Amino acid sequence: MNKPKKIKYFTKLSIFTLIPYYKKTKLMWKDKFNTPRCENPPTIHIRWLYWELFIISGTDQYWEQWLWWKEYCNGDFDEAKNTWPWYYPKTKESTWINY
Protein backbone atom coordinates (compact mmCIF):
# COMPACT_ATOMS: atom_id res chain seq x y z
CA MET A 1 0.00 0.00 0.00
CA ASN A 2 1.19 3.49 -0.76
CA LYS A 3 1.22 6.48 1.52
CA PRO A 4 -2.12 8.25 1.95
CA LYS A 5 -3.01 10.60 -0.88
CA LYS A 6 -5.28 12.85 1.12
CA ILE A 7 -3.68 15.20 3.60
CA LYS A 8 -6.01 17.48 5.49
CA TYR A 9 -4.82 20.64 7.14
CA PHE A 10 -6.41 23.60 8.79
CA THR A 11 -5.31 26.74 10.57
CA LYS A 12 -6.89 28.81 13.27
CA LEU A 13 -6.15 31.82 15.41
CA SER A 14 -4.83 30.90 18.80
CA ILE A 15 -3.44 32.44 21.94
CA PHE A 16 -0.21 34.37 21.48
CA THR A 17 2.92 32.23 21.84
CA LEU A 18 6.31 33.76 21.18
CA ILE A 19 8.17 30.45 21.41
CA PRO A 20 7.23 28.08 18.57
CA TYR A 21 5.44 24.88 19.59
CA TYR A 22 5.76 21.65 17.59
CA LYS A 23 4.17 18.28 18.29
CA LYS A 24 4.05 15.17 16.14
CA THR A 25 1.80 12.26 17.11
CA LYS A 26 2.00 8.67 15.93
CA LEU A 27 -0.82 6.46 14.77
CA MET A 28 -2.97 5.43 17.74
CA TRP A 29 -5.11 2.34 17.36
CA LYS A 30 -6.76 -0.49 19.25
CA ASP A 31 -7.98 -3.99 18.51
CA LYS A 32 -11.74 -4.42 18.84
CA PHE A 33 -13.63 -7.57 17.82
CA ASN A 34 -10.41 -8.84 16.16
CA THR A 35 -10.23 -5.89 13.77
CA PRO A 36 -8.16 -2.69 14.00
CA ARG A 37 -9.74 0.63 14.95
CA CYS A 38 -7.97 3.89 14.22
CA GLU A 39 -8.19 6.14 17.27
CA ASN A 40 -6.09 9.02 15.91
CA PRO A 41 -4.23 9.27 12.59
CA PRO A 42 -0.67 10.65 12.53
CA THR A 43 -0.72 14.43 12.94
CA ILE A 44 1.60 17.40 13.08
CA HIS A 45 0.70 20.41 15.19
CA ILE A 46 2.59 23.70 14.90
CA ARG A 47 1.82 26.86 16.88
CA TRP A 48 3.59 30.20 16.66
CA LEU A 49 2.51 33.76 17.39
CA TYR A 50 -1.28 33.77 16.81
CA TRP A 51 -1.45 30.86 14.36
CA GLU A 52 -1.91 27.13 14.69
CA LEU A 53 -1.47 24.62 11.89
CA PHE A 54 -2.75 21.03 12.06
CA ILE A 55 -1.73 18.52 9.40
CA ILE A 56 -3.61 15.20 9.40
CA SER A 57 -2.37 12.40 7.16
CA GLY A 58 -4.92 9.97 5.73
CA THR A 59 -8.38 8.92 6.89
CA ASP A 60 -9.50 6.40 9.51
CA GLN A 61 -10.50 3.98 6.74
CA TYR A 62 -7.03 4.21 5.18
CA TRP A 63 -5.23 3.52 8.46
CA GLU A 64 -7.54 0.66 9.43
CA GLN A 65 -6.86 -0.99 6.08
CA TRP A 66 -3.13 -0.34 6.48
CA LEU A 67 -3.17 -1.93 9.94
CA TRP A 68 -5.15 -4.89 8.62
CA TRP A 69 -2.59 -5.39 5.85
CA LYS A 70 0.49 -4.94 8.05
CA GLU A 71 -0.48 -6.37 11.45
CA TYR A 72 -3.14 -8.99 10.66
CA CYS A 73 -2.03 -10.31 7.24
CA ASN A 74 1.78 -9.99 7.62
CA GLY A 75 2.15 -7.71 4.61
CA ASP A 76 0.31 -9.92 2.11
CA PHE A 77 -1.83 -7.46 0.14
CA ASP A 78 -4.01 -10.06 -1.63
CA GLU A 79 -4.78 -11.84 1.63
CA ALA A 80 -5.62 -8.51 3.29
CA LYS A 81 -8.01 -7.54 0.51
CA ASN A 82 -9.74 -10.95 0.49
CA THR A 83 -10.09 -11.27 4.27
CA TRP A 84 -11.18 -7.68 5.01
CA PRO A 85 -14.17 -8.25 7.35
CA TRP A 86 -16.23 -5.12 6.68
CA TYR A 87 -18.92 -4.95 4.01
CA TYR A 88 -21.93 -2.87 3.00
CA PRO A 89 -25.08 -4.43 4.55
CA LYS A 90 -27.36 -3.87 1.56
CA THR A 91 -25.04 -5.01 -1.23
CA LYS A 92 -22.80 -7.42 0.75
CA GLU A 93 -19.78 -5.92 -1.06
CA SER A 94 -16.50 -5.30 0.73
CA THR A 95 -15.74 -1.77 1.92
CA TRP A 96 -12.09 -2.21 0.87
CA ILE A 97 -10.81 0.84 -1.04
CA ASN A 98 -7.74 0.58 -3.29
CA TYR A 99 -5.76 3.65 -2.30
- The pLDDT tens digits of the residues spanning 30-57 come to 888 888 888 888 888 888 887 888 888 8
pLDDT of residue 14: 67
User: Which residue numbers in the chain have pLDDT < 70?
Assistant: 1-15
Q: What share of the chain is helix, strand, coil (3-state, %, to 5)?
A: 20, 45, 30
Domain ranges of the chain: 7-83
pLDDT number for residue 94: 87
For 72, residues 6+ apart whose C-beta sits below 8 A from its C-beta are: 35, 36, 80, 83
Q: Are 16 and 50 a contacting pair, CB within 8 Å? A: yes
Q: Return the pLDDT at 86.
A: 86
The whole-number pLDDT of residue 12 equals 67
